[in-house]
Amino acid sequence: RLISLQSLKSPKEKIFDASIWIFTASLFHFWAILFIILVFVSIIFHVSRDYRNWIIPFIAFFTVSIIAILSILIFDANLLNNFISQIRIDFDLKYIKTIFQNIALAIYIFTSMLALVTMVLMLKRKSLNMQASYKKIILAYVIGLVVFFISPDKDNSSLIFTFVPVSIMLTNYLETIEKYWIKETILGTIILASVITFILQLL
């Protein structure tokens, strides 16, 4: 919704939808709330002149808050305690117990950083109307990494917050490679390494 905001079609609905989903996600994983930064950056890039667009995220916040409070009162008061317990910062990677988990994390970080660097280098070659979208993708990746590193009780699945921006950046990188066999080799290597490390973690 935020990437398509540059079309300027129904911007208010897109801002509201994105904000609603971000605040809803934060009920299950609190630090997902950091993605609201992406909403305000998108407003700055595309629709900052209309002051009503700045108010919409706050309307979404109160909407989700009211629904959450009602759900807690009706179903289970312990849900509030579970939510509050997530509001802490923990940089510890203590969940890594085997070398294979470490290798899996290293492969993913290396691949995503490669995609990030190539995206940054290609940014100036993109058309002006596309640069804002690519900047938002880069920001989404950075926020996703921050969410992963500061989240309590983390594991490799917390990297899911970076999957979409990494896939977009990596696809753009592969599109710049003219030789087909090089593309297939890179993609095949990434897939093979992922499958092998996943299997080794199960042993």
Residue-wise pLDDT for 141-193, tens only, equals 999 999 988 888 777 778 888 888 988 888 888 887 777 777 788 778 878 87
Q: How far apart are CA 190 and CA 111, in angstroms?
A: 8
Structure tokens, 123 = 């940014």
Report if pTM > 0.75. Answer: yes
Residue-wise DSSP of 139-179: HHHHHHHHHHHH-TT--GGGGHHHHHHHHHHHHHHHHH---
Please report the pLDDT score of residue 203 as a whole number.
Answer: 61
Please report the pLDDT score of residue 95 as a whole number.
Answer: 67
Residue-wise DSSP of 47-113: -TT-THHHHHHHHHHHHHHHHHHHHHHHT-THHHHHHHHT-S-----TT--SHHHHHHHHHHHHHHH
114 three-state secondary structure: helix
- The domain segmentation of the chain, as residue ranges, is 1-87, 91-203
Burial 139-160 (b: 16+ CB within 10 A, else e): bbbbbbbbbbeebeebebebbe
Axis crossing angle, helix 11-28 with helix 36-46, rounded to the nearest 10:
170
Q: pLDDT tens for the chain, 203 residues: list them.
A: 888 887 778 889 999 999 999 999 998 888 999 999 999 999 998 888 888 889 999 999 999 999 988 888 887 777 777 777 778 888 777 766 667 677 777 888 888 888 888 888 888 777 777 788 888 999 999 999 999 888 887 777 788 888 889 888 888 888 877 777 777 887 788 788 778 777 766 66
